[in-house]
Every structure is written in structure tokens, then in C-alpha cells.
Structure 1
Amino acid sequence: MGGTQPGRWWRITGQEIVGAFRPRREPPPLLPLRRGIVAGAGPLLLALLVGVGFIAAFVGALHNPKPHHVPVGVVRGDQTAQALLAATAPQLRAVDYDSPADADDAVRRGHVYSALTSAADGLTLTVATAAGPTATTATAAILAVAARGAGVPLSVTDAVPVNPDDPRGVVPFYLAIGLVIGGYFGGIALSLALGTVPRTLGRAGVRIAGLAVHALLLALAGTLIVGPGLGIWHQNLFGLFGAGMLLAFAAALFAAAVQSWLARVGTTLIILLVVVLGNPGSGGIYPPEFLPGFFRGIHEWDLPGLGADLVRSVIYFPAGSAAWTAGKLAIWCVASVAVLAAATLVLGRPVSPKPKP
């Protein structure tokens, strides 16, 4: 593959392995000191920008999370519930359904965090804390204040409770972050070892297969840790494994695709998009409705946000609830493969056979 000698791309000697971990002295100066300082200023400036961006993004997104248009299911024509929700705008917003059964089904499938319906003795708020404990807690608190002001009794029922071993709902986020970081580090490591641009489409296919194996092993490790290892989840571990592999594979392919065109500069871009913007855009324990507008938009497509949403859907909600989220990750994979293949065709160099004597 790119950056290696023909016939040796698959061999690594023991001496090379040892040499990779051996401290190396700075080479003798080949340039005047002034020019050396100028040459080193660029990388340091780039690192400074990444650090400043990291601070600004995380603090800006998460320093004061507030609910904004958090969706709550409500039945059309339910005037009491509609009026109460209208009094809580813009913190909450109504999502209309045709019947109480439809609203309840939307909660149980994770389409909305909660549903408010009228009952003979007042109002009932059906929540799914598994979809986001922060969102359901805030929704219940806001509606409780509004209900007291209106003199209407309000009861709360949890239809899809979060696992008691993860009461704040942080495991999906941290599992997704681990899979994304491990995935894109796999793509970067392979590019550093073999060269950023495969020489041929065949070798690009081998590289993609290697990243798939890496994603498989990473997803298996993550599933074993949160499943049998820590005993946090016991349900649908096969689905969790599949979701984890898709997420790690998407991150690895994205890293390989970016580096195939931008080389070392691509590493900085990957960190900016996935870590500096992607991590705060995912929200952590906060759903996107609690983030500033810019980061709410990022959440819809960034890898950490999609990964956390996918894990929650697979673990807590019925089959099919995660279809669109998984579809977005599949789009990441297909687009990254196309970009890597294009770089191979444009920038790769076929290996010329040695002339026979």
C-alpha cells in the first residue's frame, strides 16, 4: 500500500517494532535557528487552535443547558393537555397524535420523551426515562409547576425506565465515545503504518477489510464490558454488538478517507469534526433540545450523537426504532468508502513489476 516498498507492505520486522518505541534525538540542525522556529510555529499554532476550539465548544455547548422545544406527545382535541403545554412554551412543544394509544406508542418507541393525556382524575404524563433521564425529569418538573398553577392534578408514569445501574443514562454516551475514538484511531494508525493512500483499489479493499475487523473486535470488547463485564445491560447484546460495529466502522472509514486526501492535516480535521464539535454536539447526558441551536443541528449527523442515540434505541426500544439512525451511519460508511476509492484512483500509484533480467 502507499508509502511502503513493493512486496513488503505486509511484513514488519522485530527491529522495526522496537525502533518504533525507541526514543530518538532531534536530528542535527539543517536550517538556521530562525527558520527552524518559523517551521515549528505552524504545528504549534494548529495545536493552539484545536485547544481553543475544544474549550470554546464544550463550554459554549454545555455551560448552561436549558430545555428548548422538548417534544411532548399530546392527543388532538385534548384541550386540557394542549392548554397546559401551550403555557410551557418555548420549553416544551406539543407533538400531535390521533389517539392516546398512538401517543403512548410514540413514547414506547422513543419517538418522543413523554406524552401528556387527560384522565378522569386529572392529567397523566407517560415518560420514557430510557430515552433521556434529563429530558423526562425536566419535562415532569415544568409540567408539575404548570399543573399546580392551573389547579389540575398531574400523575407521572414511567413506561420505559432507564436501567437502575445507569440512572443518569451516561453509558450510551460513553460507550459511543469509546467506539468513535477507537474507530478513528484505527483509521489513523493504519494510515500512518501503511501510507495514507492505497496504491490500488484492491489494496484499498484490503485496508477496508482490516478496518472492519478492527471495528468488530472493538464492538465486541465494548459489548462484553457493558454486558457480562459490568452487568449494566443484559438485553439485546447481539443488537448492541451490531450497532457498535457499525459506529466504529463509520469512524474508522471516515478517518481513512480524510487522511487519504489531506494526510497529516487530515488528522487535525478529524479531531476538529469528531471531538471538538462532535462530542459537545452529542450532548453527553443532555438531549439535543438542551443544547444551543448550532449544536442541536450538529447532533443530527455527528458520529458521537448518532452513536449514543443508536445505543439507546437498540437497548431500550423495539426493533425498527433505530432504523433511520443506523441509516445515517451507513451513509457515513458509503461516503467514506467513495472518498477513499477516489483518492486511490487519483493519487495512488500502481506497483510496477520489476523488469526481468
Structure 2
Amino acid sequence: MATTDDGARTTFLKEVKNAVTPHASLLVLGVLGLMIAFITSYTGAFHHPKPADVPFGVVAPAQVSEQLVGKLDRLSGSPLDPRAVPSERAARQQLADRTIDGALIVGPRGRPDRLLVAGGGGASLAQAVELVVRAAEKAEHRTVRTVDVTPAARGDSRSLSSFYLVVGWCVGGYLCAAILAISAGARPSNGHRAVIRLAALALYAIVAGLAGAIIVGPVLGALPGTFFGLWGLGALIVFAVGATTLACQALLGIIGIGLAILLIVILGNPSAGGAYPYPLLPPFWRAIGPALPPGAGTWAARSLAYFHGRAVTGPLLVLSAWAVGGTLITLALSIFRKKGETPS
């Protein structure tokens, strides 16, 4: 009876080892780590949004301008980063250029002040600025009227369509790259295969960019702005994310998929300035957001949709750097891989 029990126990342990190999166990632990990082990153970024050092213009008579800027600068928690602006026209221009996120126009005696905001740049940020300014005006026994000089489109609730569009492009980019890379092995086997995969990714990126632009434009009417501009942006985002994923997989094999998810999904999405624009995010996420593809893409998409393409040079350079860097790393690791490595 004991021999039978020992044999059953041995058979069961063999089945467990066959079902969950040591390699699979390590991957499961990696997935657990990514899950914990996901919860930490999203909760850390979104659990307590509050404005901090929001670029803010003040248009007021010379005799009160400096005093008013000082009062706004000393507000508890430093929600605003105020600076004097010479005229309402200049304030509107700076809002259009995305150098400030709001402006207070002090009215003549007996008339209410006006707060200029740009809802297309992020509804949550415009509302946060309005709450801060209204509280400050109430303390001074003044009234303020809010004017949205760049409102979100009717089909773009809370100006989130740009963010969701970019997230979709990012998902398409790393999933396409992952499929191309693991279809015949986790590592590119040689330079020729890497070039073919990159070319296939480029073709896919063009189609994906076109599909996204059609959906948010002619189909749903969610975003205004230039159709061809969004198409080109989408193609660049998809290729940048895909090339980065191929580079991660060339470097680390299947574990590279996890690294790509960490960069794009876990760190990139909550820091993209979508649901909460940069001035509402904690310092860490605010710092990394503009340097990652989701953040650069979201900023550029909103600029194309609502700000006539202004302030897109930096984000486009960021996306181009990810695209070029991912391509070069993929090719280098594929061409100069160690001799004797078994081709995939």
C-alpha cells in the first residue's frame, strides 16, 4: 500500500512539473510583478489629482498686476505658476500656443473678471483651474466668468478621444510587433528577418494610422483637425511602439514583451496626460510622461485636433527617437548576434 502511495505521489509530482515548468514559474512571477506595478502606477497617478504649478497668465492694470501675480503665486499648495501677460490678445495667443493653461482677465471696476481656459487641452485641467481661481476670487470678494476659448468638440466628451486613440495605436503597435517576433521564435534570427519584420511593421503602421484617423474623424466625428495629420501621427506612434517592442524582444527574448508592456502600458498610459493632464499628475508621472510614446502621442493628437498643430515639434521628436532607436537596436542585435546561436 505504501509503495502504491509513493508511486501515486511521484506520478503527481511529475505531472505538476510537466504542467508548470520552472521556466513557466518564472514567467508567472514576472506577470505577478507586472500586475503589482500596474496597480501601483495607475493608482499612484490617479488617486489624488490636484493642480500644481499650472502655467497661468494674468492680464491686469499695471498698478495691480504685480500684486495679483504675487497673491496667486502664494496660494496654498502652489496650484498656479502665474505670470503677467500684457494683453488679452497675448493671453489668447499663449493659450493657443499651449504655453499657458489659463488666463485671468481683470475687468474694470464693477465688472466681473474673466477666466480663459482651453477645454480641448483637457477638461479636468480646465475645471481644476476654474475651481482654484473661483476660490481665490471669492476670497477677494470678486466674481469671475469662465470662457472656454478652445472647447472640446461635441463628440469628444471631456477631451479624452485623443488619449483613447493614442492608447489604441500603442496597443496595436506592441501586439503586432509581439506577433511578428514570436511567430518564429522570440529572437530575430538574422538581419534579413529583422528587416522583413520591420518592413511589415511599417506597412501595418500606415494602415493602422489610417484606420484610427477614419474612425475618430469621418465615422464618429470625435476629433476635429487635420485628417492627414492624425493619419501620419498614428503611423509614427504605431511604428515607434512596435519598433521598441521588437528591440526589447531582440534584447531579452519573450521577457522583452513584459518590458515593452512596462514601458508603454504600465508607465506610459497613466503618465500620458489623458484623463489628467500633466499639471494634475504627481511629480514622477509628470516627469516621465512627455518622454514616453503615449504621452508624446496624446499631446500631439490634442495639438493637431484643437491647436492647429502648434507645440508638436517636441513630441514628434520623442516619437521619432523611439522609432529610430528601436529600429537600430533591433537591427544591431539581429546582425551581430552571437555566432552559434540557433536561428529561430
TM-score interval (norm. to shorter): 0.7 to 0.9
Distance 2:147 2:310 in 1: 24
Counterpart position of 1:326: 316
Counterpart position of 1:119: 107
Q: Which of 22, 26, 42 lines up with 1:42 in the alignment?
A: 26
Contact (CA 8 Å) 1:197, 1:347: kept in 2 or not?
no
Counterpart position of 2:285: 295
Q: Which of 238, 259, 265 lines up with 2:255 in the alignment?
A: 265
Contact (CA 8 Å) 1:228, 1:234: kept in 2 or not?
no
CA change 1:317–1:53 in 2 (3 A) is: same
Q: How far off is 1:347 after superposition?
A: 1.0
Counterpart position of 2:79: 91
SS in 1 for 2:270: helix
SS in 2 for 1:93: strand
Give yes or no for the alignment of 1:133 onto 2:107.
Answer: no
Counterpart position of 1:110: 98
Q: How far off is 1:195 after superposition?
A: 3.8
Counterpart position of 1:70: 54
List per-residue Cα deviations over 1:99-157 (Å, max 9, x = no partner).
Answer: 54332211012222212233323533211110111111111121011112112332322
Q: Which amino acid aligns with 2:57?
A: G
Q: Which amino acid aligns with 1:104?
A: R
Q: How far off is 1:161 after superposition?
A: 0.8
Contact (CA 8 Å) 1:187, 1:211: kept in 2 or not?
yes
Give yes or no for the alignment of 1:223 onto 2:207.
Answer: no
- List runs of 5+ in structure 1 lacking aligned partners: 1-28, 351-357
Q: Which amino acid aligns with 2:52?
A: H
Distance 2:338 2:103 in 1: 55
List per-residue Cα deviations over 1:58-90 (Å, max 9, x = no partner).
Answer: 112111211111221235952354144224351
Counterpart position of 2:7: none
Q: Which of 123, 127, 132 lines up with 1:142 in the alignment?
A: 132
Q: What is the aligned length? A: 321
Q: How far off is 1:200 after superposition?
A: 4.5
CA change 1:206–1:42 in 2 (3 A) is: closer
Distance 1:178 1:217 in 2: 13
Distance 1:202 1:310 in 2: 34
SS in 2 for 1:151: coil
- List runs of 5+ in structure 2 lacking aligned partners: 1-10
Q: How far off is 1:284 after superposition?
A: 3.2
- TM-score normalized by structure 1? 0.83
Residues 189-204 of structure 1: pairs in structure 2 closer than 5 A: 189-204=179-194
Note the aligned Cα RMSD (angstroms): 2.4
Counterpart position of 1:306: 296
Counterpart position of 2:8: none
User: How much identity, in percent, do the aligned residues show?
Assistant: 31
List per-residue Cα deviations over 1:274-298 (Å, max 9, x = no partner).
Answer: 1122122224311122122111112
Q: How far off is 1:224 after superposition?
A: 1.2
Counterpart position of 1:251: 241
Q: Which of 42, 53, 58 lines up with 1:58 in the alignment?
A: 42
